[in-house]
Amino acid sequence: MKKIVLASNNKHKIKEFNEILDNVEILTLNDIEFFDEIEETGTIFLENALIKASTISKYLSDKNLDYDVIADDSGLCCEALNGAPGIYSARYAGEHGDSKANREKLINDLKGKDKTAYFNCTIVLYHIDETYEYKEGKTYGKIIEEELGDTSFGYDCIFLSDDLGKTFGEVSSEEKNSVSHRARALEQIKKLL
């Protein structure tokens, strides 16, 4: 089975990638002993995904490891906020990864505004020869003020999916993977592998 390096140690992301990309063996950053922080300085999802992928590809090359790299950048985009929080979704309220604070800030920022939103995911497949391909996936819904379901991951519990009629926090991983932004991008990437 082909091995590919996922430029992430995020356990939710690793789980999703493993569930959808069943045609490859996924190695994580821990598996390749990469422990540095990668600074995401891009202004759009594709730039951040490329920064992660190219950084890991160079690291692998320096270690004489011949693996393709897959990296993504994703976030929640709200129409009424000109696409915010967007690439800043994980640190919208300031501190990276404080999901509760991020949700509270978003709900507050959307008071009296249109709640239409979508999750966007851009995935880069970065090859050993430094060429790359990328795919994008989106899933639409609206932001609600009540947290429903599992509150442990990002904006899932306040994102009411148009496709499912429930929040992502209320559904199983199988249900989410059938319509999520990451799943839609990954299904396209899967065809390239």
Residue carrying the six token digits 């995020």:
10
- Please state, as a whole number, how many other Cβ atoms lie within 10 Å of the Cβ of residue 129: 8
Structure tokens at 5: 């390096």
73 is annotated as an active-site residue? yes
CA pair distance 122, 73, nearest whole angstrom:
6
The backbone torsions φ and ψ at residue 147, rounded to the nearest 5 degrees and listed phi first, read: -80, 120
Can you tell me the distance from the alpha carbon of 51 to that of 42, in angstroms, rounded to the nearest whole number? 8
Per the residue annotation, which of 68, 72, 73, 156 is the catalytic one?
73
Torsional sign, CA 162, 164, 169, 174: negative
Which residues are part of the catalytic machinery?
Answer: 73
